[in-house]
Structure 1
Amino acid sequence: MKKFLAKKMMLLVGLVLLGLTFSSFKDDDKNFKVAKNLDIFNTIFKELNIYYVDTINPDKSIKVGIDAMLDGLDPYTEYYPEEEMGDLNLMLKGSYGGIGSIITYYKGRVAIDEPYEGMPAAKVGLKAGDVLLEIDGKDLKGKSVAQVSEMLKGQIGTSFMLKVERPGAKKPLEFKLTRESIQIPAVPYYSVEANNTGYIQLNSFTGKPSKEFKDAFLALKKKGITSLVIDLRNNGGGLLDEAVEIANMFIPRGKEIVSTKGRIKQGDRSYKTTREPIDPEIPITVLVNNSSASASEILAGAFQDLDRAVIIGTRTFGKGLVQTTRNLPYGGNLKLTTAKYYIPSGRCVQAIDYKHRNEDGSVGRVPDSLTTVFHTAAGREVRDGGGIMPDVEIKVEKAPNILFYLVMDKLIFEYANDYCVKHPTIASAKDFVLTDEDYNEFKALVNKANFKYDRQSDKVLKNLKEVAEFEGYMDEASEEFKALEKKLSHNLDRDLDHFAKDIKSVISTEIVKRSQFQKGAIIQQLKGDEELAKAIELLKDQDKYKSLLKPGKTNAEQKSVATAK
């Protein structure tokens, strides 16, 4: 018996050693391949540097090589050389040294698009529409937006002179600006809406959003709100910890909000609420859309999985990947994906599988048929692999094609400049109305500019004609095509009238923000917001609100109950 056990033990030890040997061979083979290919890359660059017909810029060439390598992974893994670290810091901290203004390209020059309230640009009196001519006497003609942006940014406390051309002014104006730490607000607006419903717009999870959110929520509590709408639309995310902090204001201590799992053990972590919530009972609705991503999906997903809020809007983006940063030699940095995150039900919302690419290198979303069913704390069905599907889905009509081109061609921007010259003061954002007479003036400006835009109907009709001709149907259908071409003929005045509501809304926002900044623009945009109205309506009907958070209905049944009028 002892001999048998001894033989068995020897065999077991032998298998373990054999496994370790194979593992060692595998690791050695991988390390050899890494060393071999790095040596090949190094040698190729040296040969090019010595023998190539033209002089090679080493920084640019290596950067192109690195970027091409990272492009094969995912869009969130990026290399930042020392000179681009400002972009990474802005992404992580939401702050930079500058004047606090969005700039844009306008009529061959860079111009102020929107100064931030309370920041250096606004303090000295810069306005949207101001065309930038010189910085410290250096002519900016021919400079790109990126180049001018770098010139405006700099060390906090440093000053410079800026010369601008202002619409309606007879001669250029000069301003002395001192750079400050520019912190982009994560909560640009909050208010009390109908039925004592609080509204908080959360634009980002960079900087200190949890502090801003807490201050806003406590201010609304003092005003007597009895329910809350959290607006995460177009919030692209940021810091995971900040999403957990905000969730903790409404979710009891000790609840897991999110966990991460990576290839190495350091990527595995669980994030739980650590304090008692400020208000664990207040009814909440969360607005999301297809641009709500990352930390936004963690917050919305945690609320949904823990049955703490009703999610309203359209399916979110579907980013379930976590990035960390690694310091590199010579002041650079590598932002790389190190883990996936999982919300309380255990699901990951990542919509695109970058590991398994098509033969042409493209990637696609995970089809709904391949997603897995998970369950919320109360037992409601939810799915992974495609973002957060709202409890109440609201289909939002796409902006008309003509509006895109009016914005891109800066015709709305130009009209707002002219309008503000003629109207130095306007009504508050809540009361401002663009009249029919004003809109007729805008239409006249568009017609005078000989405005052209891409019409999707023309493209589709052209493709259909080509197919009909190829398949031999053109002779029989020629009269029908002529009639359709006549009906779809280019009619600018008709389109400006047909889409007047959408166009007027954008014009009004552009005008209001010139004197009332971002807050005024948000107030203007929220007028007639159907999703916000649906959120407030649902919070008013507590029976319907509570029914959506209970199990027992299929997703389709839940949606039909929620969307019925």
Structure 2
Amino acid sequence: MKQRIVVTTVVAAFAFVTGGWLMQKGGGAGDSVYRQARLFDDVVSHVADFYVDSVGESQLYRFAIDGMLDKLRDPYTGFLDGRDLARLREQTSGNYGGIGIQIDKRDGAIVVVAPLPETPAERAGVQTGDRIVAVNDSSTQSWSQEQAVTALRGPEGTQVRITIDRPGSSTPINLSLTRARIHSRAVRLATMLEGNVGYVELFGFSQATARELQRAVDSLRTAGMRALVLDLRFNPGGLLDEGVSVAELFLDQGQAIVATRGRAPDANRVLSDRGAQRYTGMPLVVLVNGASASASEIVAGALQDHDRALVVGTTTYGKGLVQSVYPLSSQPGNEVVLKLTTARWFTPSGRSIQRTPQNRAAETVADARDPEEELSAAARDTADARRVYRSDAGRVMRGGGGIVPDLVVRPDSGVIAAREALTRALDSNVVRYTDAIAAFALDTRARRMVSSPLFAVTAAMREDFLARLRQRNVRLDEATLRTAWPFIEQQLGAQTARFTFGRTGEVRRLSGGGDPVLAEALRLAQAARSQSELLSLAAARNPAGETARAGQP
């Protein structure tokens, strides 16, 4: 009898901690909630009293919460406290305490990608390409990017000391900076490309995103912009309200933007434009890829449904679930919230944004794809993918989860082959290769070797880079080099343009062909005098809805 009790307790504890439930045979839906609560309480008591290792009851209840939410198999639902809650607030507000720089690990060093505008770092003169060699007198030589971010961030008003090695300077630069409230701007770049076509790169949908975008577009309009390319690639989304507000900038009053459907009465609603359109008649192209999700998909779907934008790129991620945040405790130092999926999103035409693969294998294929590659038919919900939806003007659109672009553009097959050949040849030397790219770009900037982002990669530059690879014990045979060079040359050009001329210079270079999606969008936007003409040009470019590849006439 004693053995039976012990075995039962151990099995119950295992099922409990892993989120499972042990039920009596014949028990189930007919059992009362009270009976289930008593059963739960009995299991907690037995585990707390008799489990082989001591486990506090408060910890057991937390195990139970985590196990229950895990059984929902919803990656967007969770119980948040401490650091997770702080991260959520940072994502939704876009604010944190720090000095305002974007950094990366390049060539074994912590390198400044860019200082953010109007931040302590920018005011102190920190520049793109600077190497941060010490923080508060601690060497960063063996640090990861995450370690550097943690050290540089902190409460507003606190001090942090950094030591910088600047390309072209023989002596280190010591700076003492006061951390401030940093707002991660959603508008990463706003610039004018050839033919008076504006380009805005948007990342995230946190508080004030719509206001930031409006300011950027207004500024470009003042400078003479006649068409806009809005880049939502790699934009993970964010706040529903900000997605709606961004769509409102381009839609007419009363036009539906998104519908939400859920079990709770207040989860079923249609959100529509509340004001007059701000940019009437301006041709608009929206760029998306497999990493565009959530609010990005709301914007792209609404503008596509109402024929207000030409959507170009590859099918979006397919994250069409609404999360609501419920505060459960507001005690100082012990705040906890429940982030719970409460509804699904649908575009105005009725398309479900949520991708529902046919099976687990299809889901694995979809999740593992390169964002720049188009989603295969096997990885989509084929029943909905076969259904035809129509825009306001009657254009055919496809379901199946995510937003399927009007014009699917993928990299040139030669570039894909070059990248694959390089990946195979590098094997475990990828980090050394990227270090050599960064070192080449930084030294080119320091020596002032290029005067325009459209510079040609010369034979001397090629030999310089290959020598850097050899210094890092990376060798590519001639056959691999012949195949891979177009991709390597593209990376050398883009990285050097970025470190020398900033993100604006990099985009200018990529728009000439290094980024086939942007190049195609720019070509169409330059040719169109109205939105209807833009859509017609795209339809003529892709009459049967085939995938377009870069370099096709």
Tell me if TM exceeds 0.5: yes
| Residue 156 of structure 1, CA deviation | 1.3
The answer to whether the aligner puts 1:44 opposite 2:67 as a matched pair is no
| Residue 303 of structure 1, CA deviation | 1.1
The answer to whether the aligner puts 1:413 opposite 2:435 as a matched pair is yes
CA contact (8 A) 2:134 2:140 kept: yes
Shift in CA distance, 311/168, structure 1 to aligned 2, threshold 3 Å: closer
- Give the distance between the partners of 2:289 and 2:361, measured in 1 at CA: 31
- Cα shift readout 1:176-220 (whole Å, capped 9, x = no counterpart): 121122222222222333343332222222242211211122222
- Cα shift readout 1:496-529 (whole Å, capped 9, x = no counterpart): 3432232223233333333544333333433323
- Cα shift readout 1:420-475 (whole Å, capped 9, x = no counterpart): 346524545534444321121111111232227xxxxxxxxxxxxxxxxxxxxxxx
CA contact (8 A) 2:44 2:60 kept: no
CA contact (8 A) 1:115 1:121 kept: no
- Listed as ranges, the matches of 1:13-412 within 5 Å are 29-30=32-33, 32-33=35-36, 36-37=39-40, 40-41=43-44, 43-44=46-47, 47=50, 51-52=52-53, 66=66, 69-70=69-70, 72-105=72-105, 111-118=110-117, 119-126=119-126, 134-138=134-138, 144-163=144-163, 173-329=173-329, 330-352=334-356, 365-371=379-385, 372-397=387-412, 398=416, 400-401=419-420, 408-412=430-434
Shift in CA distance, 374/130, structure 1 to aligned 2, threshold 3 Å: same
CA contact (8 A) 2:249 2:277 kept: yes
| Residue 158 of structure 1, CA deviation | 1.0
- Give the distance between the partners of 1:431 and 1:272, measured in 2 at CA: 43
CA contact (8 A) 2:390 2:396 kept: yes
- Give the distance between the partners of 2:192 and 2:459, measured in 1 at CA: 31
Aligned residue in 2 for 1:450: 473
**What secondary structure sits across from 2:293 in the alignment?**
coil
Shift in CA distance, 498/318, structure 1 to aligned 2, threshold 3 Å: same
Shift in CA distance, 66/190, structure 1 to aligned 2, threshold 3 Å: same
- Give the distance between the partners of 1:111 and 1:447, measured in 2 at CA: 23
- Give the distance between the partners of 2:326 and 2:41, measured in 1 at CA: 20
Aligned residue in 2 for 1:439: 462
- Give the distance between the partners of 1:201 and 1:62, measured in 2 at CA: 41
The answer to whether the aligner puts 1:506 opposite 2:491 as a matched pair is yes
- Give the distance between the partners of 1:39 and 1:71, measured in 2 at CA: 21
RMSD of Structure 2 on Structure 1 (CA):
4.1
CA contact (8 A) 1:232 1:286 kept: yes
| Residue 56 of structure 1, CA deviation | 9.4
CA contact (8 A) 2:255 2:273 kept: yes
CA contact (8 A) 1:258 1:271 kept: yes
**What secondary structure sits across from 1:348 in the alignment?**
coil
TM-score w.r.t. length of structure 1: 0.75
- Cα shift readout 1:347-404 (whole Å, capped 9, x = no counterpart): 2121136xx9759997975432444333222233323332111111222244714666
- Give the distance between the partners of 1:65 and 1:134, measured in 2 at CA: 42
- Give the distance between the partners of 2:33 and 2:224, measured in 1 at CA: 63
Gaps of 5+ in 2: 1-27, 367-378
| Residue 317 of structure 1, CA deviation | 1.2
**What secondary structure sits across from 2:146 in the alignment?**
helix
- Give the distance between the partners of 1:169 and 1:58, measured in 2 at CA: 57
| Residue 112 of structure 1, CA deviation | 2.9
Q: Mean alpha-carbon deviation: is it higher for 414-423 or for 525-534?
A: 414-423
CA contact (8 A) 1:103 1:110 kept: no
Report the count of equivalent residues.
Answer: 495
**Larger gyration radius, structure 1 or structure 2:** 1
The answer to whether the aligner puts 1:494 opposite 2:479 as a matched pair is yes
Which residue identity does 1:271 align to in structure 2? Answer: L
